[in-house]
Structure 1
Amino acid sequence: MNKQEIVDFMLTLPESELDYPFGADVMVFKVLGKMFALLSVNDGVVDINLKGAPADNEALTSMFTAIRPGYHMNKKHWVTVSVTEEIEDGMLKGLIDRSYELVVSKMKKADRERLAIQR
């Protein structure tokens, strides 16, 4: 996936919004004001910070060179995914969905139900 395809996919998630709190070079994706992804381009490579379960993050970082502990994030709960040939589109979409779902799971019940209706 290229940068625009990734952005388009993330914006299809219910109540997803794009923000630039860290400047024009860093795209922050939020759901109801809570961040679920951070996207930047470094040396021509798209990097995405995504939330994940600690055990899953540990496994991913040990299996893929393109996935490492979250840059400038809590290294236990976030990973940075460099979008390279090693990361298939389906896997990337799954990681984005999982990050979104983890953030939504911590919201108030009414917000979770509202988002579930939209999905």
Structure 2
Amino acid sequence: MNIEEFRDHCLAKPGTTEHTPFGPDTLVFKVMDKMYALTGIDSFEFINLICDPEYAIELREKFDGSIRPGYHMHKKQWNSVDTDGSVPDYTIRHLINHSYELVVSKLPKKLKEELKQLSDGH
């Protein structure tokens, strides 16, 4: 997966916006203003994604070294996922989806309703 494919996948999700709050080198994707993915722009070496803590442990064991506790993030809930081909693209897409859905599931009811309207095209 390259950065354009990553960006396109994230931006296709309802309510997603992109930002650079940590400076021009870090690209952040948010749903309804809640972060779910970030990566380096110039060095697309890994993606940080939020993850269910138990699933995160399972992934770290399965992809030893290629999925690890999130760099500069809460280590229990965030994973850093390598983009060098050691983790298949379909798995990366699944993990982006998981991260997005996990954040959406924790949104307040009002924001979930706004998001539903966005995804219904209203």
Matched, 1:113 2:100: no
- TM-score, normalised via structure 2 length: 0.89
What is the aligned partner in structure 2 of residue 54 from structure 1?
53
For 1:5, give the aligned amino acid: E
What is the aligned partner in structure 1 of residue 91 from structure 2?
91
Deviation at 1:45, TM superposition (A): 4.5
Deviation at 1:114, TM superposition (A): 3.2
Deviation at 1:10, TM superposition (A): 0.5
Deviation at 1:96, TM superposition (A): 0.2
Structure 2 counterpart SS, 1:13 = coil
Q: Give the gaps of 5 or more residues in structure 2.
A: none
Deviation at 1:47, TM superposition (A): 1.1
Structure 2 counterparts to residues 18-29 of structure 1, below 5 A? 18-29=18-29
Change (3 A) 1:41 1:67: farther
Q: Deviations over 1:4-46 (max 9, x none)?
A: 111111011101111001111100111111100111157x552
Change (3 A) 1:46 1:116: farther
Q: Give the gaps of 5 or more residues in structure 1.
A: none
For 1:115, give the aligned amino acid: L
| Contact 1:28 1:35 survives alignment (8 Å) | yes
| Contact 1:41 1:47 survives alignment (8 Å) | no
RMSD: 1.6
- Among all aligned residue pairs of Structure 1 and Structure 2, give the percentage whose two residues are the same amino acid: 42
- TM-score, normalised via structure 1 length: 0.91
* Runs of 4+, deviation exceeding 3 Å: none
Structure 1 counterpart SS, 2:45 = strand
| Contact 1:37 1:51 survives alignment (8 Å) | yes
Aligned residues: 118
Q: Deviations over 1:60-89 (max 9, x none)?
A: 111112100001111000000011222111
| Contact 1:20 1:27 survives alignment (8 Å) | yes
